[in-house]
Structure 1
Amino acid sequence: MLPAWFTHNRLYDLARSGRRLTSWWGVIGIGVLIVFLSQVFAIPIVLAKLALGGMSSASSDLLPPLVSGFWLSLTLAVSFGAMIVLVWLWIRLYERRGMATIGFEPQRALFFYGRGLLVGLASFCAVVGLLAPFGFVAVEAGDPAQVGLAALGGVLLVLIPGWLIQGAAEEVLTRGWMLPTLAARYRPWVGVLISSLFFAVMHGLNPNLSVLALLNLGLYGLFAALYALREESLWGICAFHSVWNWAQGNLFGFEVSGQMVSGGMLFNLMETGPDWFTGGPFGPEGGLVTTIVLVMSMAIIWWWPATSQNPAGQPVTVDR
């Protein structure tokens, strides 16, 4: 039997507070359109970078971390910020509800967000901690100007606002809008399943994608759904997602979902073990090590004491 927090959740009630709920085919179609349009907003940034930096034949890793970090942070902030705006426009103009109804209620927001940052950082450190005892991680030689204190400015600039907006945007689309909308209109498992699959597929064009990497992306979607439902809020999983990506790329120097990131890194590590375990060129997200951490994390969440913002018998009121 499924627990009460899964079958009856405040996030579902918030979704029902609007005038209408988008159908499953509308959620998928509008979701695809939002993903595509949001990336279009990055084109002017790319063109400006090529024009001002002369980067047509040079790599971003030749730039000082502060400069490359600025460009990456700006690209993430603009393109994924557009994703948040597009979701907001849809729910405001079609579903007739506000941003608070996707899990951004102000109650305990700082607590949820701060906890999400800590849990996300600890979770990725657990990935590195599982690699280390097997000797599957090592320090990689590289440009000293791109690593450590010399890169600190770029590393922080990429996090704020870049990764903070990027992680939040993907959660707003999938766990904030898709999941509760489908759960409220159909069944909770429909929302969890479709939002998780959509999240995996939206990364399907990433370089170096493997079957295990695709599975892990789907598992992350399931984990994120459980996290958001357990808190009945989107704040925590937004923070988790952002700091996970930042730790992976700019803290430890791994690839993030198959892509190297700019802005430098505090530690320059590389995987040295078998790709099926370490993730290889896709980064740790493509390996069994992340599968283990995600499964363990979901088990912990299942036993995590519920944080209900809507005591039994109380009507749901939101800012429309």
Structure 2
Amino acid sequence: MEQEETIQQEEPKRGAHVLFSLGIYIVAFLFLSLVFSMLVYIVLGFPDTGSFTLNQYVVIQFATLLAAVLPACFILKYFDNRPLSDLGLSVKGRGKDFLYGLLAAIFLYGVGFGLSLALGEVKVVGIHLDATDLAVGFVFYILVAFTEEIMVRGYILGRLLRTRLNKFLSLGISSVIFSLMHFFNPNVAFLPMLNLVLAGCLLGVAFLYTRNLWFPISLHLFWNWLQGPILGYKVSGTSLSSSLLELQLPENNILNGGTFGFEGSIICTALMVFMIGAIVWYFERKNAKFTTEDTEGTEF
């Protein structure tokens, strides 16, 4: 991850203004989600909820992405008087961030899945290669990553960081909101909810220092894609298509995550805590180095 050369230090907005704009955003998102979902249902011919195909899920998720992005852009420009670049989607010089997100996801599942196999908490009982499902699943999780990162990190966390709140408190608030978005997922329980809060922290912690979304978008994308379509876990309690590996869990417990997927496991908890600490250490150390160099270069 690369740190932004400069993060503008501006007079923080009043908390009331920020909370009001966040309220407008959430209401607008819910309204547009309802409108777009109705339109999608009409186009798809009112299918039963349990009978959606993977391609139909892609269409639904695209509509959700629009519901998240459109009000964010409108409120930023006409209410907050902020540039759209505040959403953190600047691509200049961010190629390494996308690569680091991929590597972080590989580390998370390489270690986590490896430990689960070694402990006998999961078994691979089959391999099924369906290139179409893998490709469509990849597109679906791209849309999921953009939707949730623009909404939770780009807009919500970005607005909170312009208040007088401590940056880590802002991260915590946005992470709780992120977890609550998954509250009605199948098989949710205390440990999965805790892990979703930690996942929000992991996805958002680099944004505190870079104000850029390409690392969390990449990590979010490959986190979901590796977990579900590749390894065969459920993704936050849901399964949308066939997977490359067919897994068998000897029993459902906190080591393998049970019916919620790897995100419901204590192995995932430990790995996320480690990765959050490593990212904070990296940027705080880098900030301290810059501060020292600036001080040494100052003449009195």
TM normalised by structure 1 equals 0.77
Counterpart residue number, 2:31: 37
Contact kept? 1:175, 1:195, Cα under 8 Å = yes
Q: 1:230 to 1:131 in 2, by over 3 A?
A: farther
- Asked if the contact 2:64–2:147 (Cα under 8 Å) also holds between the matched residues in 1, the reply is no
The structure whose RCO (Cα within 8 Å, separation 6+) is larger is 1
Sort the Cα spacing of 1:281 and 1:221 in 2 relative to 1 into closer, same or farther, 3 A: same
1:279 and 2:264 are equivalent in the alignment: no
The structure 2 residue matched to 1:96, chosen from 81, 90, 103, is 81
Q: CA RMSD in A?
A: 3.2
Q: Cα gap change, 1:189/1:229 in structure 2, threshold over 3 Å: closer, same or farther?
A: closer
Matched, 1:226 2:205: yes
Contact 2:235/2:261 (8 A) holds in 1: yes
Give the structure 1 partner of residue 190 of structure 2: 211
Whether the 8 Å CA contact 1:171–1:238 is kept in 2: the answer is yes
Q: Does the Cα contact within 8 Å between 1:152 and 1:265 map onto a contact in 2?
A: no
Task: Write the distance in 2 (CA, Å) between the matches of 1:193 and 1:92.
Answer: 26
Partner of 1:148: 128
**Secondary structure class of the residue paired with 2:144:** helix
Matches within 5 A, 1:253-272: 253-262=232-241, 264-272=242-250
Percent identity at matched positions? Answer: 23
What is the alpha-carbon distance in structure 2 between the residues aligned to residue 32 and residue 97 of structure 1? 18
Query: In structure 2, which of residues 61, 66, 86 is the aligned counterpart of residue 76 of structure 1?
Result: 61
Distance 1:108 1:86 in 2: 27
Q: 1:113 to 1:21 in 2, by over 3 A?
A: farther
1:124 touches 1:247 (CA, 8 Å); kept in 2? yes
- Are 1:190 and 2:184 counterparts? no
Matched to 1:154, the amino acid is D
Aligned with residue 288 of structure 1, among 250, 266, 269: 266
Q: Give the match's secondary structure for 2:236.
A: coil
Q: Secondary structure at the match of 1:276?
A: coil
CA shift, 1:291, in A, is: 0.3
Which runs of 5 or more structure 2 residues have no equivalent in the other structure? Answer: 292-300
* Equivalent residue runs for 1:34-183 within 5 Å: 34-37=28-31, 39-40=33-34, 41-49=36-44, 56=48, 59=51, 68-140=53-125, 148-149=128-129, 151-160=130-139, 162-183=140-161
Please give the alpha-carbon distance, in whole angstroms, between the structure 2 residues aligned to 1:220 and 1:178.
16
Deviation at 1:126, TM superposition (A): 2.5
How has the CA–CA distance of structure 1 residues 33 and 104 changed in structure 2, closer, same or farther, with 3 Å as cutoff?
same
Could you give the per-residue CA deviations for residues 249-294 of structure 1, whole angstroms, max 9, x where no partner exists?
11112111111113x3211224334422221111111121210110
TM-score normalized with structure 2 length: 0.82
Three-state SS of the structure 2 residue aligned to 1:268 is strand
Residue deviations 1:118-169, cap 9 Å, x none? Answer: 322332332212211110111356xxxxx633x1112112212x21121122
Amino acid at match of 1:194: I
Deviation of the 1:33 alpha carbon: 2.4
* Whole-angstrom distance in 2 between the partners of 1:39 and 1:46: 12
1:298 to 2:283 alignment: no
Task: Please give the alpha-carbon distance, in whole angstroms, between the structure 2 residues aligned to 1:204 and 1:47.
Answer: 27
Structure 1 spans left out of the alignment, 5+ residues: 61-67, 142-146, 313-320
Distance in 1 (CA, whole Å) between partners of 2:70 and 2:274 is 34
Q: How many residues align?
A: 286
